[in-house]
Amino acid sequence: MTVAERTLRRGSLLIVLLAASVAWTSCDLASASNTAILNANSPIAPTVQHRFEYKGEDVVDGEVAVESKIQSDDLDAILSRNGFSRSDVVDARIDSVKIINPESAPSLRDADVFLGTDAEGPRVAQVTSFPDGASFVVDTSTPVLEAVRNDEVRTLYGRFGLESAGDGAVQATVYYRLEVEGV
C-alpha cells in the first residue's frame, strides 16, 4: 500500500468518525430541547391569584391565620391552555409572591405564607414589615415540583399580623416557573 493510499484511507476514516461524533452530539442536543419554560414572561403565564378572607372575630392578639381561595385560573387550567398537563412538568418552583393588602382591609404588619393548608408546608413568602402598607413582592425560588405533580398547590395558608382588628382580606399573586416536556 502506498503512502497516498494510506493517507486516503485514514482521511476517509477520520471523516466517518467526525460525521459520527457530529450526529451523536446533535441527537444529544435535540433531546435537551424538547422542554419549554413557562414563567411570568410567557404569553399564558403560570401566575395564580389567591385571596385570604377573614372576619374580625378570627383576629386574636392582632394575628389571623387563614387558608386562601384561588381567584384566577389554577395551574391545571394554565397548563392546559399552554397545551400541557401536570404530568408534563419536570421542574417547578415559585419565583416570587406578591402580597397585596387592599386599602379597605386593616393594614398588615407582617406576613408568612405557606404552600398547603397549614404552616407545615414549605414557606413561600415571609414579610417582616410593609413599608408602604399596600403590597410587597418576595423573591423566593422555592422548589415545588412534587406539590405541582400531586396537585397540592391549590391552597395557601397565611399568618398575618394586623395593625387593627376587623373584617378583611389579603391577596397573594404567586408567580411559578415551570419546565415542561413534550414540546
Task: Encode pLDDT of 128-164 as tens digits.
Answer: 988 765 788 998 889 999 999 988 888 999 999 998 8
Rounded to whole angstroms, the Cα distance separating 11 from 5 reads 10
- Measured from the Cβ of residue 83, the count of other Cβ atoms closer than 10 Å reads 12
More confident residue, 24 or 118: 118
Rounded to whole angstroms, the Cα distance separating 100 from 109 reads 12
Q: CATH fold of 35-181, please?
A: Jelly Rolls (2.60.120)
In the chain, where the domains are located: 1-33, 35-181
Rounded to whole angstroms, the Cα distance separating 95 from 85 reads 20
Give residue 153's pLDDT. 86
Question: Is the pLDDT score of 127 beyond 60?
Answer: yes
What average pLDDT score do residues 27-31 get?
35
Give residue 20's pLDDT. 39
Give residue 4's pLDDT. 56
Banded pLDDT at 23 (limits 50, 70, 90): very low
Give residue 102's pLDDT. 84
What average pLDDT score do residues 8-21 get?
48
Give residue 82's pLDDT. 95
Nearest to 148 by CA among 111, 183, 179: 179
The overall average pLDDT reported for the chain is 84
Q: Which residue has the cell 406539590?
A: 147
